[in-house]
Every structure is written in structure tokens, then in C-alpha cells.
Amino acid sequence: MTIVLYTNPVSNFCAKVEIALRLKGLAYEALPPPGGYGSAAYKAIVPAGTIPALVDGDLVLSESETINEYLNDAWPEPPLLPADPKARARVRLVSRFHDTRLEPPLRALFPQVAPSGHDPAVVAARLAEHAARLAELAALVAPGPWLMGEAPSLADCAYPGTFLMAERMRRAFGHPHPLPPALAGWCAWIAAQPAVAPVLAAQAAATDAWLRGKGAL
Ligand SMILES: N[C@@H](CCC(=O)N[C@@H](CS)C(=O)NCC(=O)O)C(=O)O
């Protein structure tokens, strides 16, 4: 039975799951959420109403981290968590750091993207918070060439899409900001990987369309 992924190419959290699916080499059907995310029609399938959501037979999952851990449990090859408990914990730390620490200040800026909703003080404060989170992330990772060493891991899945979104949002806000060197090399390398490049290409086009629609490009 084919895995279904409810997704939208503009979503960095959807990119995170698509990268995990592609790292695993899994076939999946990408569908838009019926009625849009948050709609009653979609909540009848996915109670949380958020994207991404994965349907595998009788299993319906939302929350990108839970989905990616399920994919890794159900299809063990190639493993996206190391065997050693300490190395596993480090990967989980870096992956959760994305969802709980690095991404939220960017998401908080979505209402600021349209020039009519733009408060320069709020934009500067949130971007400074995001920059602080990037510096903290740089101290947690060990690129070589994957984010946590020689092998791909769950930690590689979330950051490519969020870095793409951050770079375009910063440009729209007129606040270009280079990534810390420890992250910049990894970011360029992973963006060219076959499991990642098509996902980022679709996300880049959708993000530019979103920003244009808001009058921010
Ligand atoms: N913690 C969730 C966040 C996902 C998320 O925020 N998705 C957005 C789209 S990028 C969404 O569905 N928003 C609709 C809503 O929050 O109702 C995850 O990791 O999957």
C-alpha cells in the first residue's frame, strides 16, 4: 500500500518529511490536504489539521518528528539514528532543536512578511533571536559531511528547508545574514544531494510565489 503524505511545497516542515522519505528511498503519494490545512474535511482525516501528515494503511500521523521517527522504525535501512545511545541522543537533540528553538522565531515573522504588516522593531528582534539560535546550533553539530558525521541522520532533514525559507525571508526583510561557517558548508553540500535537491527546488519556487503574493519580493 502506497504511503500518502499530505503536504504543500511551501512548507519547511513538509520538506523535512519529504527529505526523510527520499533518504529512505520510499515511494509516496504527495497530496494537498483536502479543503486546505485546518479545514473540517482535512481534520476528519488528520485530527490535528496540520501538514505534514502521513497515512500508512490504518496509521495516521501528524508532527514531522514523529513521522520521521516512524519512518526510521518501520524502514530501518539506511538507519537515520546511530546505534550508540549517546550518538542517538545527540542526533535527537539537534533534530528537536530545530522544531523547538530555531524555527519558531522565523514562523513568528510570517505576519510581518507583507509590507503592510511590517514592524521593523519586531522583525529585527525576531531575526536577532534566530541568529542567536543559529550560533547555538553551530556549537551542537559535527558536519562531516552529514550534519552529525559520516552518516545521514534525522538531524539532516529539517534544516535544509528552514535555511532556504530563512534566507529568502531575510532577503525580503532586507536583513541578509550569512550562516555561521560550521553550518554554511554543510548547507551548500546537502542542498546538492539527490534526496534533497528536488525538495528544495519545489520549496524555493513555492516560497518565492508566497513572498510575491505578499508583495515582499
Ligand atoms: N510541529 C508541527 C508543525 C507543522 C506546522 O506548523 N505546519 C504548518 C504548515 S508549515 C501548519 O500545518 N499550520 C496550520 C496550523 O497550525 O493549523 C510539525 O512538526 O509537523
Q: What is the tens place of the pLDDT at every residue in 23-45?
A: 999 999 999 999 999 999 999 99
Report d(CA 62, CA 92) in Å as an integer: 18
User: 13 CA distance to ligand 1 centroid (A)?
Assistant: 7
Grid cell, residue 38, equals 485546518
pLDDT value of residue 197: 98
pLDDT, position 177: 81
**Of 13, 68, 95, best ligand 1 pocket probe by most atoms within 8 Å of the beta carbon:** 13
Is any ligand 1 atom within 6 A of the Cβ of residue 11?
Answer: yes
| CA gap 93, 103 in Å, rounded | 14
For residue 56, the CA-to-ligand 1 centroid distance in Å is: 19
> Stretch 84-108: mean pLDDT, rounded?
98
For residue range 95-105, what is the model confidence (pLDDT) as tens digits? 999 999 999 99
**Could you read off the pLDDT of 4-20 as tens digits, one per residue?**
999 999 999 999 999 99
Model pLDDT for residues 153-167, shown as the tens digit of each residue = 999 999 999 999 999
Q: How far apart are CA 30 and CA 66, in angstroms?
A: 18
Q: What's the gap in Å between 36 CA and the centre of ligand 1?
A: 12
Is it the case that residue 178 has pLDDT exceeding 90? Answer: no
- C-alpha grid cell, residue 175: 536583513
Distance (angstroms) between ligand 1 centre and the Cα of 173 equals: 23
Does the beta carbon of 99 lie inside 6 Å of ligand 1?
yes
Asked if residue 38 has its Cβ within 6 Å of ligand 1, the reply is yes
CA 126/CA 84 separation, integer angstroms: 36
0.85 exceeded by pTM: yes
